[in-house]
């Protein structure tokens, strides 16, 4: 969890950070604008032994590599597969064709692992990250559809995500962007066999088509980390910024141009080229809830004020005093977030020409070698 990445900031520093981030416009410690990402360098195709790979290095020194490996696997017959029971009967072609259309991919065809140095692989934070990234990938079912070879066979895709630097900040945006690039660069061997034959592939690697063809609009999802401080919405927070967040959300957006059942609105959007889809939202437990509180002068014995005696401690009024907020003294946020704030965060991510668009554009510009 984000909360486990320990950060040693004093209550005074936290109060200062919180105050500067709640100004309009907010002043971020590294001088970025609220919607600006950290500068990054990216490359793809770095691992020759994989079907697709990518490496991204953020300016703050965090770096991740992702390798995608594919294996051919026999599709397991499913319990609801009518064909099992129809064995021995005359195969009625029409019914089987219908079935084929329905039978989409299975989420077990994708295996995603996240490795973060210094953390156990069964650590809840690491698992949370892995589940979040795979959830976005599997949300619309269109991704596993791509892995189907024929009725008897499919590709099994292994996505291995490695953070190779120590986790200097909450690594979600970095890992998501790297995974996106690796999937864009993933190529699967060209199929030579036809229909339901056992699959047989072209051994010419140059002829291998991309999993996400360049000429089509569909793109893998990206997960954006966005947080709110006061009334400000801040994208891609660094570690210090996350330490004073009121609420942090991980929002996954996809871009799928080819979809059935288009509505009139969707047609309008197509003029612009990109149709964003909301795939998943998760609340990230902000580490701000675990920060130490500051002591206001009014109750500080170092300033000559009487410390509450034992009789005073017992009184219920004395306990109520503790929760009173004093201007400029840091206090860990309590309770949740207002619905309006959460709605604004999601709205800001999805708005046209917004950050999600910008990020997808930038990633498209990366040369896929």
Partner 1 sequence: MTDRRRINGPAGTTIPPVFEDEDIKHDSKVVKGRSRAPDAVRRMFLKTGVTPSASGSAYLEYESSAKSGVSGLKLSCTVHGPRSLPRSSPFSPHIVLSTHVKYAPFATKQRRSYLRDPSERDLGTHLETALRGAIIADRWPKSGVDIIISVIEGDQDRASSNIQGDETWDMMNVLSGCITVASAALADAGIDCVDTVAGGVAALVQNAGEDSTPTIVVDPIPSEHEKILGACCIAYLPTRDEVTNLWFKGDLSASAMDLYTKLVENGILASTSANRVLVASLNETLA
Residues that bind partner 1 (CB under 8 A): 1, 77-80, 84-85, 106-107, 122, 124-125, 127-128, 130-131, 135, 139-141, 249, 253-254, 263, 265-266, 268-269, 275-285, 289-293, 322-323, 332, 334-339, 342-343, 346-347, 350, 352
Closer residue to partner 1 in complex, CB, 127/368: 127
Residue 160 structure tokens: 């291995």
Residue 60 structure tokens: 């703050």
Which residues are registered as beta bridge partners of 43? 55
Tell me how far apart the terminal alpha carbons of the chain are, to the nearest angstrom.
35
Backbone angles phi, psi at 107, to 5 degrees: -70, -15
Q: Minimum Å distance from CB 276 to partner 1?
A: 4
Those residues with Cβ within 8 angstroms of residue 201's Cβ, 6 or more apart along the chain or in another chain:
189, 190, 191, 192
The secondary structure of residue 294, as a DSSP letter, is P
Q: In whole angstroms, what is the distance from residue 362 CA to residue 113 CA?
A: 25
Closer residue to partner 1 in complex, CB, 63/135: 135
Q: Minimum Å distance from CB 90 to partner 1?
A: 18
3-state SS, residue 97: helix
Closer residue to partner 1 in complex, CB, 77/315: 77
Compute the radius of gyration of the chain from its Cα atoms.
25
Q: Minimum Å distance from CB 93 to partner 1?
A: 22
Closer residue to partner 1 in complex, CB, 163/279: 279
Q: In whole angstroms, what is the distance from residue 353 CA to residue 272 CA?
A: 10
Q: Minimum Å distance from CB 344 to partner 1?
A: 11
Closer residue to partner 1 in complex, CB, 85/369: 85
Q: Minimum Å distance from CB 324 to partner 1?
A: 13
């Amino acid at each position: 969890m984000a909360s486990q990445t320990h950060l040693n900031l004093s209550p005074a520093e936290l109060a200062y950070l919180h105050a500067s981030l709640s100004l309009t416009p907010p002043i971020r410690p590294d001088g970025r604008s609220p919607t600006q990402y950290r500068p990054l360098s990216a490359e793809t195709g770095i691992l020759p032994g994989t079907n697709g790979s990518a490496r991204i290095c953020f300016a703050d020194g965090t770096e991740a590599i992702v390798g995608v490996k594919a294996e051919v696997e026999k599709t397991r017959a499913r319990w609801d597969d009518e064909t099992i029971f129809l064995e021995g009967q005359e195969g009625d072609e029409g019914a089987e064709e219908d079935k084929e259309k329905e039978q989409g991919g299975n989420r077990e065809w994708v295996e995603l692992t996240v490795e973060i140095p210094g953390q156990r692989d069964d650590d809840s934070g690491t698992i949370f990250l892995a589940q979040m990234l795979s959830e976005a990938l599997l949300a619309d079912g269109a991704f596993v559809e791509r892995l189907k070879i024929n009725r008897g066979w499919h590709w099994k895709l292994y996505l291995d995500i490695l953070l190779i630097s120590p986790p200097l900040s909450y690594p979600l945006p970095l890992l998501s962007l790297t995974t996106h690039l690796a999937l864009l660069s993933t190529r699967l061997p060209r199929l030579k066999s036809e229909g339901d034959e056992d699959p047989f592939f072209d051994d010419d690697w140059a002829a291998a088509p991309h999993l996400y063809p360049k000429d089509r609009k569909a793109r893998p999802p990206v997960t954006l980390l966005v947080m709110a401080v006061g009334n400000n919405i801040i994208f891609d927070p660094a570690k210090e910024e996350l330490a004073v967040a009121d609420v942090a959300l991980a929002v996954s957006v996809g871009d799928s141009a080819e979809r059935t059942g288009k509505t009139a609105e969707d047609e309008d959007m197509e003029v612009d080229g990109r149709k964003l889809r909301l795939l998943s939202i998760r609340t990230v437990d902000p580490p701000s809830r675990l920060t130490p509180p500051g002591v206001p002068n009014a109750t500080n014995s170092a300033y000559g004020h009487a410390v509450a005696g034992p009789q005073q401690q017992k009184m219920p009024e004395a306990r109520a005093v503790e929760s009173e907020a004093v201007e400029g003294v840091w206090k860990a946020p309590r309770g949740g977030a207002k619905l309006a704030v959460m709605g604004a965060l999601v709205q800001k991510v999805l708005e046209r020409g917004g950050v999600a668009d910008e990020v997808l554009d930038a990633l498209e510009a990366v040369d896929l070698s």
